[in-house]
Homo-oligomer: A and B are copies of this chain.
Amino acid sequence: MPEAIALRGLVCQRAGRDLFAPLDLRVEAGSLVELRGANGSGKSTLLRTLNGVHQQYRGQFTIDPCLFQGHRLGLDELLSPLENLRFAAALHDRQLDEDGAFAALERFGVVRYGLTRMADLSAGQQRRVAMARWYLAALPVWLLDEPFTALDADGQALLTQLMVEHCATGGVIVCATHMPVPIEAKTLLSLAMVA
């Protein structure tokens, strides 16, 4: 079975400067990779590179179709969670039935805000809607940048469970975080800043 992600001597660059030492890694289906590193070590940049929007790097990598969640949520503040989920599905050329969207929002505890504008939700509530988006995306690889931000204890538990489930069904998660992910089976990938 080919690996879901393979990095061969990958080094991301910003403004022509290498950010970290070359990375070599193979990630099999079902793994969780915890991406650690000091502030400014290049975690976010690496995730953007894997997602294909940052193109300044050396080395090679391959990656299966992936979902990306950066610091910016990728949800439209003027639309409701429901509309956002529907649009996200349309982007992947899938139809989303009401029941599916409803169930996803319910799972993450924001179903009562289903018709409110995103702009009128609290920080954590918005994050929960984003989780519903991942849940519905049906993509094998997830690239998550500090996904525990703004979540309360309940939300963190929901996220952990979601991550466990995703890996259990053969998905792969790369998660940049400063807080250890409370899951046992994980690969650690540490970025050391290049001086």
**Chain A residues at the B interface, C-beta cutoff of 8 Å:** 14-15, 37-40, 44, 71, 109, 120-125, 127-128, 146, 149-156, 178-179
| Identical copies of this chain, number | 2
9 smallest A-B Cβ distances: which pairs? A39-B124, A40-B122, A39-B152, A38-B152, A152-B178, A40-B125, A39-B125, A149-B149, A71-B123
Residues on B with C-beta less than 8 A from A155 are 39
Residues on B with C-beta less than 8 A from A14 are 120
Chain B residue at smallest Cβ distance from A116: B15
23 CB < 8 A contacts A-B = A14-B120, A15-B120, A37-B152, A38-B154, A39-B109, A39-B122, A39-B123, A39-B124, A39-B125, A39-B127, A39-B128, A39-B150, A39-B151, A39-B155, A40-B122, A44-B122, A71-B123, A124-B178, A146-B149, A149-B150, A151-B178, A156-B178, A179-B179
Residues on B with C-beta less than 8 A from A121 are 40
- Give min CB distance, A131 to chain B, whole Å: 11
Residues on B with C-beta less than 8 A from A178 are 124, 150-153, 156
Contact of A124 among B15, B40, B120, B151 (CB under 8 A): B40
Chain B residue at smallest Cβ distance from A123: B71
- Give min CB distance, A85 to chain B, whole Å: 18
Given contact pairs A39-B125, A39-B155, enumerate 12 new A-B contacts (beta carbons under 8 Å): A37-B152, A38-B124, A38-B154, A39-B109, A39-B122, A39-B150, A40-B121, A71-B123, A149-B150, A151-B178, A152-B178, A179-B179
